[in-house]
Amino acid sequence: MQTVLHLWHGWFLLLFLFCAALVFSNGLHWLIFRLLRRNKVEGVSRSLGWGFNRHLGRPARSIFVITCLFVVLPFAPSQLEAHHAAIQQGLAVAMVLSLGWFAVGMVYVFEGVFLRRYDVAAEDNKVARQVQTQLVIFRRLVIAFILILTAGSVLWTFHDDRIWKAGTGLLASAGIASLILATAAKSTASNYLAGLQIALTAPIRIDDVVVVQGEWGRIEEITAAYVVVKIWDQRRLIVPLSWFIENSFANWTRNSADILGTSFLYVDYSVPVDALRQHLEAVVSASPLWDKRVCGLQVTDLREQTMELRCLVSSRNSSENFDLRCLVREEMIAYLRDNYPGALPHLRILQAL
């Protein structure tokens, strides 16, 4: 009976300490992240976390729990001594994985804190988009390095020379295999190198307006191997990273978002150009799409039956400029139809008497 009571007492103590460890670790976690959570004080919103709770909450809870379990483990009953080493090894591996998880979360936190200084939604967001593009690429490289370091740390926890010898042989084999794979996967390697070059030289950035293979769209995403271009009709064009290094393309927002646009009119020679020029100025002046920089109308070509008029207007960005050009076409055609119907293009047939 005493043996049974002693055994029961040992398991009860372990269960009590285990529950106490869970309560203490979760309580400590709640207290710390409660201070870092967004809240309101006297109606004023303040944030101390910068995404701590979202990116670090779960890995931090895992670290707290595993640490408390390490503290409880020496109090385990004698029946678990045969499995003590295996349990400790499992906790060590779990701790290393949790620390790697926490490190990945810290990368996202630092990225969020750094991007707070750059407003991508601003009108002139060239620098913000460049920084965002560089951070996305470097974030993936840092996370890949953390994953490799975490895997190595997991192997280190075993303290077994056989594992290290096997790892050394594996690395040697990987070195030979990498030479073979580099030849077979030349395009993949070139994409990764192109990603580094794009991050440093920034020929394209997130939200850049580009014309790629005859398609107009915006840079929606830059991954480690390809770029996603969102076409104006909501299609997605997937382009390898190396394509942007090896080929020419149009970047409408390379230096700034403002842009010039043209609308062409083909009218009869009898049309009064000065009257059309004044009406164009009245149309764009009344539109919020015009940025008040450039507005002009010129005769740019003469043909057998018509003359070509170019309406040149400017806007803050390409989307507004497209809408402004459409508006100019509609208003100018309506003005010609109502005031100078004879000036619209028509075919003259002279009949010889």
Q: What is the CATH number of domain 259-343?
A: 3.30.70.100
A 10 A CB-CB count for 75 gives: 12
| Distances 267 to 108, 276, 337 between C-alpha atoms, Å | 59, 11, 11
| Distances 228 to 213, 237, 294 between C-alpha atoms, Å | 13, 6, 33
The identity of residue 268, as a single letter, is D
Dmax (CA) for the chain in angstroms is 136
Residue 289, SS3 per DSSP:
coil
Domain spans of the chain, in order of start: 11-36+47-160, 259-343
pLDDT at position 202 is 73
Beta carbons of 252 and 322 less than 8 angstroms apart: no
CA 330 to chain centre: 38
- Token pair, residue 119, equals 């407003």
Task: Give 226's contacts (C-beta < 8 A, 6+ positions apart).
Answer: 191, 238, 239, 240, 241
pLDDT at position 192 is 65
pLDDT at position 304 is 81
| Backbone dihedral angles phi then psi of residue 200, each to the nearest 5 degrees | -85, -40
Beta carbons of 155 and 167 less than 8 angstroms apart: yes
pLDDT at position 264 is 92
The identity of residue 98, as a single letter, is S
Handedness of CA 115, 121, 127, 130 (dihedral sign): positive
Give the Cα separation of 343 and 52 in Å (integer): 68
CA proximity to 212, closest of 231, 184, 187, 189: 231
pLDDT at position 277 is 92
pLDDT at position 80 is 60
Task: Give 50's contacts (C-beta < 8 A, 6+ positions apart).
Answer: 109, 112, 113, 116
pLDDT along the chain (353 residues), means of 10: 45 63 67 59 46 74 78 65 73 86 86 71 62 75 83 75 56 53 54 69 82 87 84 88 84 80 89 91 92 91 88 88 92 91 69 51
pLDDT at position 47 is 47
pLDDT at position 298 is 92
The identity of residue 336, as a single letter, is L
CA proximity to 129, closest of 219, 49, 211: 219
pLDDT at position 283 is 93
